[in-house]
Structures are given as C-alpha cells and as structure tokens.
Structure 1
Amino acid sequence: MRKRSIKNTRVNTEVQHELSNIIRGGLKDPRVAPWTSVVAAEVAPDLKTCKAYISVLGDAYEQEQTIKGLQSAEGYIRRELARTLNLRNTPEIRFVLDQSIEYGVNMSKKIDEVTKDLKTEGVEEDAE
C-alpha cells in the first residue's frame, strides 16, 4: 500500500475517528485534559506504526500531562482500536503534540488587534 493511496487515506481517517472516540469516551486518566482532540493520524503503509497528532486546549503543563497520560494508556487505546477496527495489524501509536490550532488562534488574535487599531485610526481621521 502506497503512502498516498486511497486505502491509506481511508485507514488514516478511520483510525483518527476511532482514536477520538476512545479518548473522549473510554479514558479515565485524570491527566488527559477534557479538551483533547485528534487532529490527524498517519498510519504507515505497512500498518505497523501510527503517528497521532493531538491538540490540547490549555497551558503547557496540561499539554505535557495529557501526552504523558495518553502514552501510559497506549496499550488500552491500541486494544480498543483493534477491537473496533478490522485491520491486519493494529498499529503502534505515537502521540505527537500539535500546536497548529493554538498557533492559528494566536495569529487570529494578532490580526484582530491590528485591524482594530487600523479602524480606530480611521475613525479619528474622519473626526478631524
């Protein structure tokens, strides 16, 4: 199976969906933050490994604790994945912290601040 094949894309999507269901509904670890989402999942073509990109809404400490909690629950998550998905091999999961959503929110705030400053400057010039 090639890396960019339709089958690989379908497997990635299914693994991402099931991982998010398992994390949301099955984990009881208090270290895992309630606002944890699976942004993407990349399963290797041989179905042996998987990188799960995780986004956590919170500070750096909560993000670190969530990744530690997920790593300690990897056996449970993998077993649940094997139970719900019918794959030849159940991939070994590596959790990677994804900062893209947080980066996007920060950039959006900065853009809003700049446009707000531009609007207030425009209002002051019109008043004169």
Structure 2
Amino acid sequence: MAREFSRTKRVGQQLQRELAMVMMREIRDDRLGMVTVNEVEVSRDMGYAKVFVTFLNDDADEVKKQLEALIELAPMIRTLLASRLKLRVMPEIRFQYDKSLVEGIRMASLVSKVRAEDDAKAEKHGTGEDENGEAGE
C-alpha cells in the first residue's frame, strides 16, 4: 500500500517551516526585506531542495537583487537548517523566485476591473440586472 505522503514531501514541508523560521529570526541582511517561502521541492535522492520564494516588493530589479542576496546566503542558511533538522544529508538549497502569487494578484485585479466596468455599463444602459447578473421582471 502506497503512503499518502512520500518522504520527500514530508522533508520538503519540514524544510519550508524551518526555512521560514530561520529567515524571520536569524537572517539579518538589509538586502532581503520581507521574504515568503511558498514551497520547497526536494529531489528524490534528497540532495537538492528547490525553494520557491516571493518578496514583498515585486519590482523586477529589486527581486533580482533580493534573489542574488538569497543565493549568496544559501550556504549559511543551509548550515543553520542543518543544526535545526535531524537529517543524514542536508539538501543543497537552490532559491527560485515564484511569481505565481504576483500573477494571481494581477489576475484578480484585472477581473475586478472588468466586473466594475461591466457594472458601470449595466447601470448606464439600465439593463435591469441584479447583482447576480440575472434579469429582473
């Protein structure tokens, strides 16, 4: 019978929790700002961990600088994690910017904008639709 969660997924979840704590409490680098660890994917041999992060600032130049700072700090972060986790081999950490959150926010704002425009057109033309988009009697 297959397990519900594989070892790599469990280790990834534990790494994500510990990484968030290390970033919040122990990393003191002005270049980083606010970093969110969205997901951690661990390779099958547990040699590598791909860490998906987002930043409070979504300016492309700032994101690049912050990601470079994280890559530079990766060996120190790996050492801090190794002291917190009881793993035989600590995976090598590879940071990657996750733009899905930024894209989701952008898509939500576009949908809101289109709905507001549709509501304004409906009021202007007096189509008689209620808030659910259904025609009234």
Q: When the two structures are superposed, what TM-score results if normalisation uses the length of structure 2?
A: 0.85
Distance in 2 between residues matched to 1:55 and 1:48, nearest whole Å: 23
- Partner SS state of residue 32, structure 1: coil
Q: Are the counterparts in 2 of residues 50 and 91 from structure 1 also a CA contact under 8 Å?
A: yes
Which has the higher relative contact order, 1 or 2, with Cα contacts under 8 A spaced 6 or more apart?
1
AA in 1 matched with 2:6: I
**1:11-90 map, 5 Å:** 11-34=11-34, 36-58=35-57, 59-90=59-90
Q: Deviations over 1:105-127 (max 9, x none)?
A: 00011000100000001111228
Structure 2 residue runs without a partner (length 5+): 128-137
Distance in 2 between residues matched to 1:118 and 1:26, nearest whole Å: 49
- Partner SS state of residue 93, structure 1: strand
- Percent identical residues: 28
Displacement of 1:5: 4.8
Distance in 2 between residues matched to 1:98 and 1:46, nearest whole Å: 23
Q: Are the counterparts in 2 of residues 33 and 62 from structure 1 also a CA contact under 8 Å?
A: no
Q: What is the aligned partner in structure 1 of residue 114 from structure 2?
A: 114
| Structure 1 stretches of 4+ moved >3 Å | none
Q: Deviations over 1:14-49 (max 9, x none)?
A: 001111111121111111122x10110011121111
Distance in 1 between residues matched to 2:62 and 2:87, nearest whole Å: 33
Displacement of 1:100: 0.2
Distance in 2 between residues matched to 1:23 and 1:61, nearest whole Å: 21
